[in-house]
């Protein structure tokens, strides 16, 4: 059989999982998908993702890819995967792509959204899907500071201490759009960028909250985007409020 | 201390619970609330609800009441309860009412909504909050049949075999409004009535689905509302799609 490369779009509830990446003995998104695809193929199949998501982080749309010899048509593969997967992971689409397609190296942009619940009582149905923060915040400042992430910056101050410096050590990334806004009882931070460091969106949101609490001036906040070594002034907000919204590819081989 | 009667409005995610009613050794909504209220009062307190909800059934707004000697102001009681309760049960409001207030006997109307997800893929975030039914249905017939529940009928054909006949054996109830409608990818059945028998809304929805599948004509469906003994032609749909929306009281003692 000729090898075929399949690109899939997925949505998942990150709450029951220890993140995307395979970890022996722990339930992960990647591990769960590999089990199901390997079952369909009849032998072990490795699944590559567009990037990792941390434990508890959700995806409206994540992209992954794998290589099969099984000639199953894409529409049937989607059905078979959804039959075998737990209901907290769903395959949204399947398409055949060029053999050299890699969902991480060819990703051109990713969009994340962080969701903060501002009312005193958080609806029970949202408890795993928002960060409940009902305390005083200057939301106009939150939104003003959010815009400052746009452009090309060194995000060292907004990356985990143990980040593995995947792009040869550079922590420079480009943010195409970054916006804070109120939507009903939720305060949202949405950011579209060329790539993201470990914990980056949760640290960015943590920084915006420090500004909105009055703990960090806009000047000091701006200075964090061109950081001196040792700057560590922001803390990551919880994983539950974070959603990977979409992954974009420029010229998709087909 | 003088005894005080407290009326509370609650919202809960029914998925982790074995229904409303206390059952020894099993997590229930009533049991969880009684534990918390008893902890605040410093001795056992019984909590009465407006009615039971089955295992897995949710509430946007359920009403309950209990009697305390503790003089804690209602606003503080709400905060204390929400601090002690798990995040899947939330107290929405607390008010002091007349000592004779009973949330079940004085309820004038209740509204339930049943939610059916009609698309091929059910979003992972909704898996516990809708009934996923992507198969062919004549939804116009579903909505037409839903209207037929309005008025005063004998709902024997839409009650569980082991229903305890709480109103002296009568299974006659009045439905003030009953409506089916499409909202985005969801087909909804909403019904407001004087009272509901065990499993009644799930059996009503099951009946509507039989009509919409073409298995039950409108004539035979209508005949079920004036049932001959032994009529059992409908099956209950799963609990996950059912929400108690609100409970109404006529003249609330204050």
Whether residue B125 sits in one domain with residue B44: no
Is B92's CB within 8 Å of A58's CB? no
Q: Are residues B74 and B9 in the same domain?
A: yes
Of A13, A90, A121, the CB nearest to B82: A121
Percent of chain B surpassing pLDDT 90: 87
Smallest CA–CA distance, residue B128 to chain A, in Å, is 9
Cα–Cα distances (Å) from A132 to A129, A201, B104, in that order, read: 9, 17, 33
- Percent pLDDT > 70 in chain A is 94
pLDDT of residue B209 exceeding 80: yes
A51, A125: one domain: no
Asked if residue B102 is part of any domain, the answer here is no
Q: Residue B253 pLDDT > 60, yes or no? A: no
A130-148 pLDDT, tens digit each = 999 999 999 999 999 999 9
- Dist. CA A56–CA A14, nearest whole Å: 4
- pLDDT given for residue B227 in this prediction: 76
Calculate mean pLDDT across residues A120-124: 96
Taking a C-beta distance cutoff of 8 angstroms, is the pair A212, A142 a contact?
Answer: yes
* pLDDT tens digit sequence for A208-251: 999 999 999 999 999 998 876 666 678 999 999 999 999 999 86
Distance CA A5, CA B59 (A): 45
- pLDDT at position A253 is 44
Chain B residue numbers touching A8 (CB-CB < 8 A): none
| pLDDT the model gives residue A78 | 98
Mean pLDDT, rounded, of chain A: 93
Query: Residue A2 — pLDDT band, cuts 50, 70, 90?
Result: confident
Partner residue opposite B87 with nearest CB, options A58, A82, A127: A127
Q: Does one domain contain both A150 and A244?
A: yes
Q: Do B146 and B218 fall into the same domain?
A: yes
Active-site residue flag, A154: no
* pLDDT tens digits, A9-49: 999 999 999 999 999 999 999 999 999 999 999 999 999 99
Residue A163 has pLDDT above 70, yes or no: no
- Bridge partners of residue B56, in order along the sequence: none
Residues B58 and B135 in one domain: no
> Mean pLDDT score of chain B, rounded to an integer?
93
**Has residue B248 got a pLDDT over 80?**
yes
Residue B65 pLDDT exceeds 80:
yes
A254 within some domain: no
Same domain membership, residue A194 and residue A234: yes
| Residues B134 and B111 both lie in one domain | yes
**Is the Cβ pair A124, B11 closer than 8 Å?**
yes
CA angle at residue A91 from A90 to A96, to 5 degrees? 170
Residue A60 belongs to a domain: yes
Residue B180 lies in a domain: yes
Q: Can you tell me whether residue A151 is helix, strand or coil?
A: strand
Distance from CA of A128 to the nearest CA of B (A): 9
Beta bridge partners, B63, equal: B9
pLDDT at res. A254: 40
Q: How many domains does chain A have?
A: 2
Higher pLDDT, B234 or B85: B85
Are A172 and A220 within one domain? yes
Count of beta carbons in the 10 Å neighbourhood of residue B203: 23
Q: Is B245 within 8 Å of chain A by CB?
A: no
What domain range includes position B137?
A: 107-249
Q: What is the pLDDT of residue B254?
A: 40
Is position A102 within any domain? no
Indicate whether B37 belongs to any domain: yes
pLDDT exceeds 90 at position B99: yes
A111 and A192, same domain (yes or no) = yes
Mapping DSSP to helix (H, G, I), strand (E, B) and coil, where does residue A91 land?
A: strand
Q: Are residues A121 and A194 in the same domain?
A: yes
pTM of the model: 0.91
Within this chain, do residues A213 and A180 fall inside the same structural domain, yes or no?
A: yes
Place B143 in a pLDDT band, splitting at 50, 70 and 90. very high
The mean pLDDT value for B193-201 works out to 94
Tens digit of each residue's pLDDT (9 = 90 or more) over B5-59: 999 999 999 999 999 999 999 999 999 999 999 999 999 999 999 999 999 999 9
């Amino acid at each position: 059989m000729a090898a075929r490369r399949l690109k899939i779009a997925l949505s998942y509830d990150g709450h029951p999982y220890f993140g995307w990446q395979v970890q022996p003995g722990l339930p992960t998104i990647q591990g769960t998908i590999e089990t199901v695809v390997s079952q369909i193929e009849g032998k072990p199949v490795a699944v590559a993702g567009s990037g990792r998501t941390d434990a508890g982080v959700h995806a409206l749309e994540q992209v992954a890819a794998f290589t099969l010899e099984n000639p199953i048509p894409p529409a049937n593969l989607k059905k078979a995967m959804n039959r075998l997967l737990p209901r907290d992971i769903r395959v949204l689409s399947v398409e055949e792509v060029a053999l050299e397609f890699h969902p991480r190296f060819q990703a051109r942009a990713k969009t994340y959204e962080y969701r903060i619940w501002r009312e005193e009582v958080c609806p029970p149905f949202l408890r795993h899907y928002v960060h409940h923060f009902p305390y005083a915040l200057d939301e106009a400042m939150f939104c003003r500071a959010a815009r400052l992430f746009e452009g090309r910056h060194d995000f060292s101050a907004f990356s985990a201490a143990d980040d593995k410096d995947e792009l040869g050590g550079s922590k420079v990334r480009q943010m195409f759009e970054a916006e804070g806004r109120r939507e009903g009882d939720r305060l949202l931070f949405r950011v579209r960028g060329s790539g993201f460091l470990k914990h980056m969106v949760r640290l960015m949101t943590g920084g915006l909250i420090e500004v909105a609490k009055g703990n960090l001036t806009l000047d000091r906040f701006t200075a964090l985007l061109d950081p001196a070594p040792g700057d560590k002034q922001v803390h990551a907000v919880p994983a539950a409020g974070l959603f990977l919204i979409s992954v974009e590819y420029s010229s998709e081989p087909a």
